[in-house]
Chains A and B, each alone.
Chain A
Amino acid sequence: MIIEHIDAQLPGAIADRHDFRGDQTIVISRENLLPVVDLIHREGFQLLVDITAVDWPQREQRFDLVYHWLNLASQERLRLKVPLAEGESVPSLAGIFKTANWFEREVFDMFGIQFEGHPDLRRLLTWPDFPGHALRKDFPLDGGDVFCMEGCTAPYNNGERNREGM
C-alpha cells in the first residue's frame, strides 16, 4: 500500500521492488533517499528499526544499504535498499531519526560507507585506527594482520603470514 503511494507521489523513484515471504522491499537510488524518507515519515513510518548493509564485491555497485521501517499504527513493515558503489556516500538520516546516529556509525565502521551530514561519524564497535572494515567480504575472517600487535611473531592462518591483500 505504501509502495503504491510512493509511486504515485514520487513517480520514477522506485527502481525495483519485490515481495519475498511478505517482506515488502523497494530499491531506490541515493538521490531519491531523502524525498522518499520524508514521504514515508509523514505517512506514519516513525520507527526506524534498523540500518545495515550487504557487500556484493562482484557487483559494480558493491553495497546495498538496507533500511527497515515499521509503521506503529498499521504494523506495516518496509524495507528500503540503496545500492552504492565504493566511495559513494549517502545523506545521513540522523537529523530526522535520532536512532540513525549510531546505526550509521556502525555501518560506517563495518563497511566504510560515508554518511553526509552525520554529526559524529566515528567508529562504533572497533577502535579509531582499526585498519579496514570488518564486514566487507574481502576482510579476512581471522582479522589478518589486524590482531597481530607490532613485534608479534605468533603464527596464524595455518602458520602463513603476510597474505596477499592485507
Chain B
Amino acid sequence: MDSIALSRQQLDGDRMIVNMGPSHPTTHGTLRIVLELEGETIVKATPEMGYLHRGVEKLGESLSFQQFIPLTDRLNYCSSIMNNVGYCTAVEKLLDIQIPKRAQHLRVLLSELARVADHIVCVGVNAVDIGAFTAFLYLFKQRETAYDLFEMASGQRLHTSFTRIGGLFRDIPTGFVPLAERFLVECSDAIDELERLLTRNPIWHDRTRGIGPISPEEAVNWGYTGPSLRAAGVPQDLRKAQPYLGYETYDFDIPVGTTGDVFDRYLVRVEEMRQSLRIIRQVLDRLEPGPVMVDDPKVALPPKEKVYTRMESLIHHFKLIMHGMEMPVGEVYSATEAANGELGFYIVSDGGKNPYRIRVRPPCLPIFSSFESQVKGGLIADAVAVLGAMNIIAGELDR
C-alpha cells in the first residue's frame, strides 16, 4: 500500500504517518485512514475502504427478488430493518402494488424503533470515543429492549429480515405492544438522562462544538443526507418531503442544526430519537388487526395449510418458489429515510426472476468521502469525534 502512505524517507521533517484502522476501536468496522501528522495536527487524511466489500450488488444479480432480503440486513447492521423496508419498498414500486394498512403501520413502527437503536449506537459510541463512557451504558439498556422487540417480531435481534415483498413475514406476537409501551416510557427517561449527562457538559462542549462544521451548500455539494445534512441546516427528510408508508399522516417534527458540527449532529440525533418515540406512540394508538401480506397469489406465498390442502395454492407456491414473481421490465429508484440518510435502491429488471442490476445507494459513502476536508488542519483527537458523528457503518459503506 505504498501508494497512499509515504515512506519515512519521503516524509520531510517532523511529519509522521499514523494508521487509523483497518482494525481500530473508533472505526466501528474495518476501514483504514492514513493520517499524515505534523505534531498533533492533521496535514493529510487518506481514507481507504473496501475491507468489508462482499459484492452485495453482484450477488443480487444471481438471487431472486425475495432472496435478496437477507443481504440487505447486512448493509447497515445497526438498523437492519430499515434496509429491509427500503428494499421491499423499491420492489413494490417496481411491481406497483400497495401493501395492507397493518403492514404499513408495523413497518413504520419497527423502522422508528430501528432509528432509535441506530442513533443510540451513534451517539453512545461517539461519546465513548471521546471519553464519556456513562452515556453509552445508560443508553445501551434501551437498545437491548429495542433488540428484544425485534427478536419478538422477527425471531432475530440484528439480522431481522422481517419484511417480504408485499408485506411482512408475520404479524407481531402478543406481548409486543405492552413491551413497546414500556420501552416508550423508559427510553424517553433514558434520553433525558443522556441529555443531563452531555448536553450542558462543558467537556462535551469543548470536544464537539466547532469540530467539523459544514455549511449547507457544502453539505449538499458533498451529497450529505440524513442527520448530517439536517445538522448543517437543511430541513430535508424524505419522511416529510416524499412521504412513503403513510408518513404524511403522522405528527412529527424535523430537527435542524445551524453549524453542522459534531455537537449539532448530536443534538439532531437526540431530538430525532424523541420524534421517533412520538411516531411509535401514534402507531401503537392506530394499530388495528388485519392482514400483513398482500392478497395476491402472484406475489405472496399462500399459507402452509392451504398448500397442503388446495391444488391452486400448491401451484402458486410451486410457481413462486421455482420461477419467482412475474416482474415487469423497467427500472425504478426508490429512496427511504434510513437512520444515516437517504438509502436508495436502484433496480433494473429485464423481466426475469432475478434483478438484472441492483444498486444500493448507501447514505454514508458520500458523507465519508468528505472526511479529509472535515478533519484537515484539525487535531488528531478531533478526527475521532468527526468519524463518530458521521456514523460510518462499514457494512453499508462497502456493501
Binding site for B on A (CB under 8 A): 20-21, 23, 25, 46-50, 52, 54-55, 66, 68, 72, 75, 77, 79, 97-99, 101-103, 106, 110, 122-128, 134-135, 139, 141
Contacts and interface: CB of A to CB of B under 8 A. Distances in A.
B344 A50 contact: yes
A125 B370 CA distance: 17
Interface string B365-379: 110111000000000
A21 B330 contact: yes
Contacts, number: 94
A102 B369 contact: yes
A98 B369 CA distance: 9
A79 B357 CA distance: 16
B236 A72 contact: yes
Interface in B46-103: 49-50, 53, 55, 57-59, 61-62, 93-94, 96
Contact of B366 (A52, A99, A139): A99
B287 to A, nearest CB: 29
B242 interface: yes
Contacts of B356: 54
A130 to B, nearest CB: 10
B234 interface: yes
Given A21-B330, A75-B242, A102-B369, A141 B220 contact: no
A41 to B, nearest CB: 10
A20 B331 contact: yes
Contacts of A102: 365-366, 368-369
Contacts of B399: 125
Given A98-B222, A99-B223, A50 B346 contact: yes
Given A23-B332, A97-B221, A141-B62, 12 more contacts: A25-B331, A46-B221, A72-B220, A72-B236, A79-B331, A97-B223, A98-B223, A99-B221, A125-B49, A125-B399, A141-B58, A141-B61
Interface string B100-119: 00000000000000000000
Nearest to B94: A21
Given A72-B236, A125-B49, A126-B50, A21 B93 contact: yes
A99 B220 CA distance: 9
A44 B356 CA distance: 32
B398 to A, nearest CB: 6
A128 B261 CA distance: 34
B98 to A, nearest CB: 13
A96 B399 CA distance: 26
Contacts of B346: 50, 52, 66, 68
B335 interface: yes
Given A99-B221, A99-B223, A141-B62, A20 B53 contact: no
A64 to B, nearest CB: 8
A79 B333 contact: yes
Contacts of A134: 55, 58
A52 B359 contact: yes
A126 B370 CA distance: 20
B348 interface: yes
Contact of A21 (B49, B62, B332, B370): B332
